[in-house]
Amino acid sequence: MKVAYQGEPGAFSETAVLAVFPDAQPLPCDTIRIAFSRITSGEADFGVVPVENSQAGSVNETYDHLLNSSLLRIVGEVVVRVDHALLAPPGARIEGVRRVYSHWQALAQCEDFLASLRVETIAVHDTAGAARIVAERASPEEAAVAGVEAGARLGLAVLAERIQTYPDNFTKFAVIGSRDADLGTPDKTSFVMAVHDRPGSLLASLQPFAEHDINLTKLESRPRRGAPFEYIFYLDVERAADDPDLESALRTVRLHTSMLKLLGSYPASKGAV
């Protein structure tokens, strides 16, 4: 089985892949868009892509692709603890570092630590990719923010560990595919909706969940592409899509929405890996 992910070997995304599919062949991709296309084309069986970080928030690119895909849906999720380290070539000293490379979200998650070093930060496509760049350039003035495992694969030294601003740092990944991944019984459902442009529509679209005792664990608005200053809403609920109460609630929700799309029904993560 091939499973696509965004990043390079050693990335946290690869950790997520192997946590869900231990015997899979991870298929690295430069972007989330390419990961989606690898599954759509049949080159990969499933994909594992980031949807939300506990510090940086939602990964909008993933949600955009889920909204626009007519084939792929969320079939599972996994939460990965993300501990960032400062990695540099052997012999480098932390006081000599002048430039630090990493994914922009990782740089943001370690902002306080990096500010204390007074270094230039340079955003690249991936944390593991940043480690590779630093290893190839082998400059004692350059370092990467990435996982310890990524650095070990490339022979980099660890100058500092757990450098994120908030020690408890987690990223939630969605397992995406066009078929069931046999990961367990669904107990969570994600969808996206747009409400009618009239007073009370948002309240009326949410009220049915409360009336059916359905817990919303996510409600987030995003600008609607192609419709300036209009918004769509992403929601997660703690019910399976075929739950009778959820089905009943959604029948009422549809009366107040101009668009309602199921993004997937799947087993929720039971804890971080």
**Is residue 15 annotated as part of the catalytic site, yes or no?**
no
Helices (H), 92-237: 104-109, 111-117, 127-137, 148-154, 201-211
pLDDT at 270: 87
- Taking the model in full, what pTM does it have? 0.91
DSSP-based three-state secondary structure for 49: strand
User: Do 77 and 110 lie in a common domain?
Assistant: no
- Ranges assigned E (strand) in the chain: 2-6, 25-29, 46-53, 57-58, 73-81, 85-88, 99-103, 120-124, 142-146, 157-161, 170-177, 188-195, 216-223, 231-237, 257-266
Q: Is the domain of 201 the same as that of 253?
A: yes
125, 148, 177 — which closes off a domain?
177
Instruction: Return the SS3 of 236.
Output: strand
Is residue 54, in this structure, part of any structural domain at all?
A: yes
Give the whole-angstrom CA distance, residue 4 versus residue 79.
17
Which of 12, 21, 46, 173 is labelled catalytic? 173
DSSP string of 100-121, one letter each residue? EEEEHHHHHHTHHHHHHHT-EE
Of residues 250, 58, 75, the one with CA closest to residue 171 = 58
The predicted structure's pLDDT at residue 228: 75
The question of whether 173 is a catalytic residue gets the answer yes
Overall number of domains in the chain: 3
- Read off the CATH number of the domain in which 105 is found: 3.40.190.10
Catalytic residue chosen out of the listed positions 127, 171, 189, 257: 171
What is the rounded distance in angstroms from the CA atom of residue 134 to the CA atom of residue 254? Answer: 52
pLDDT in tens, the chain (273 residues): 999 999 989 899 999 999 999 999 999 999 999 999 999 999 999 999 999 988 888 999 999 999 999 999 999 999 999 999 999 999 999 999 999 999 988 999 999 999 999 999 999 988 999 999 999 999 999 999 999 999 999 999 999 999 999 989 999 999 999 999 999 999 999 999 999 988 999 999 999 999 999 999 999 999 887 777 678 999 999 999 999 999 999 999 999 999 999 999 999 998 788
Q: Per the domain annotation, does 259 fall within a domain?
A: yes
Q: Please give the pLDDT value at position 273.
A: 82
**Residue 248's domain spans which residues?**
188-266
SS3 (DSSP) at 96: helix
